[in-house]
């Protein structure tokens, strides 16, 4: 019986990170739901919305990045200055159309204001500090030529080493999930159909996740375009990464709670991706991992396997502690320390969700 419990905990601990990707790979290999990207004969106008707060130092570069991206149709560049007159002035000086909000309402509400002011059906959302590679707007929006699509996710690349590996893994998941009609988007670069937009509620801060679910809930496909690339600087220190990742996870869990009916089996692939990509590996998986550690502590005096399991965690914890102290560790030690860090992030995110820390207006450095 005890062995059965340990096996169940081991499966649960690895379900989100290992079992779901394996099942997704098998399902994707059997899927016949691929769709050709439609040929666009006439490129319609596109509105590019840049929500911005404390971005006066980078907004000019961002506007030029959009202007020179190579889109063949009309482009409305709309910077929504979220209660930030300095950013508004810098954006206007760079030649963008500016919507200056009188007070800060948070990114989600800035996006709502931007969509209300958009002149075009095809709308691109992108962050002020994220730079698009050439042709990204056209590559991203061409999928909206197919009326089955309500939104399209771009490809975000961030950092180096472990961080870049994380984003590549995330991209792999999106590529396979999009075969079934729905994946998640990142706010650094995505496109939406304005007619499919429904205003984001005031208590939602995880805007990109909300938009992905809300559009898929309406029956649209949420696609993925790996060639539409946006690059963003690394988060920075582990302390900064902790704050951002726990904030995002806590906010995402609130989105799942509000949209919890989508977890029901009748929502098919959308429900599966919610359970596998988000919920299990952020809650039940880490909790099962912690339970395994507790079992190993009790069994270590009599079990070499349990002792080895604990030793691996002690070494990973030491590696993580070294990184927190600013000490560079070998790559072979960096990987387990990152796994340990992400498991800790899961508990931090659950704690922020439990205390209703939704951080609609979070602290951020001026850029």
Answer yes or no: are the C-beta atoms of 37 and 69 closer than 8 Å. Answer: no
Answer yes or no: are the C-beta atoms of 313 and 210 closer than 8 Å. Answer: no
Task: Return all residues near 106 (Cβ < 8 A) that are at least 6 apart.
Answer: 82, 205, 360, 361
- Model pLDDT, residue 37: 74
What is the Cα 321 distance to its own chain's centre?
26
Q: Which CATH class is domain 46-234?
A: alpha beta
pLDDT value at 164 more than 70: no
| Residue range 31-48, pLDDT digits in tens | 656 666 777 778 999 999
What does each C-alpha distance from 237 to 168, 282, 341 come to in angstroms?
A: 20, 22, 12
Q: Any idea where the domains of the chain sit in the sequence?
A: 1-30+237-367, 46-234
Model-level pTM greater than 0.85? yes
- Model pLDDT, residue 163: 55
> Can you tell me the distance from the alpha carbon of 9 to that of 202, in angstroms, rounded to the nearest whole number?
38
Please give the residue that has the higher pLDDT: either 164 or 61. Answer: 61
Please give the residue that has the higher pLDDT: either 222 or 334. Answer: 222
- Model pLDDT, residue 129: 93
pLDDT value at 207 more than 90: yes
Mean pLDDT, rounded, for 226-244: 81
Answer yes or no: are the C-beta atoms of 36 and 43 closer than 8 Å. Answer: no
């Amino acid at each position: 019986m005890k062995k059965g419990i340990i096996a169940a905990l081991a499966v649960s601990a690895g379900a989100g990170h290992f079992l779901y990707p394996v099942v997704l790979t098998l399902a994707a290999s059997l899927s016949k739901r691929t769709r050709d990207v439609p040929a666009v004969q006439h490129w319609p106008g596109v509105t590019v919305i840049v929500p911005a707060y404390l971005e006066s130092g980078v907004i000019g570069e961002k506007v030029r990045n959009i202007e020179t991206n190579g889109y063949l149709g009309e482009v409305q560049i709309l910077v929504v200055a979220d209660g930030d007159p300095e950013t508004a002035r810098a954006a206007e000086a760079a030649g963008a159309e500016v919507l200056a909000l009188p007070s800060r309402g948070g990114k989600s509400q800035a996006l709502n204001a931007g969509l209300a002011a958009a002149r075009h059906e095809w709308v691109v959302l992108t962050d002020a500090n994220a730079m698009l590679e050439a042709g990204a707007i056209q590559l991203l929006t061409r999928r909206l030529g197919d009326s089955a699509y309500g939104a399209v996710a771009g490809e975000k690349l961030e950092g180096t080493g472990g961080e870049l590996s994380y984003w590549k893994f995330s991209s792999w998941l999106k590529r396979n999930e999009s075969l079934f009609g729905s994946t998640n988007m990142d706010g650094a670069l995505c496109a939406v159909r304005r007619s499919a937009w429904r205003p984001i509620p005031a208590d939602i801060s995880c805007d990109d996740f909300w938009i992905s679910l809300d559009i898929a809930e309406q029956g649209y496909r949420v696609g993925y375009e790996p060639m539409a690339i946006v690059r963003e600087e690394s988060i920075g220190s582990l302390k900064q990464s902790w704050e951002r990742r726990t904030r995002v996870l806590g906010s995402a869990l609130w989105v799942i709670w509000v949209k919890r009916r989508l977890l029901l089996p009748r929502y098919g692939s959308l429900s599966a991706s919610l359970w596998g990509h988000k919920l299990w590996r952020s809650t039940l998986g880490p909790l099962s991992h912690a339970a395994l550690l507790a079992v190993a502590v009790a069994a270590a005096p009599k079990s070499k396997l349990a002792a080895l399991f604990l030793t691996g965690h002690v070494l990973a914890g030491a590696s993580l502690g070294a990184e927190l102290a600013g000490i560079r560790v070998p790559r072979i030690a960096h990987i387990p320390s990152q796994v340990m860090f992400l498991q800790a992030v899961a508990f931090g995110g659950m704690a922020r969700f439990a205390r209703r820390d939704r951080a609609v207006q979070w602290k951020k450095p001026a850029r």
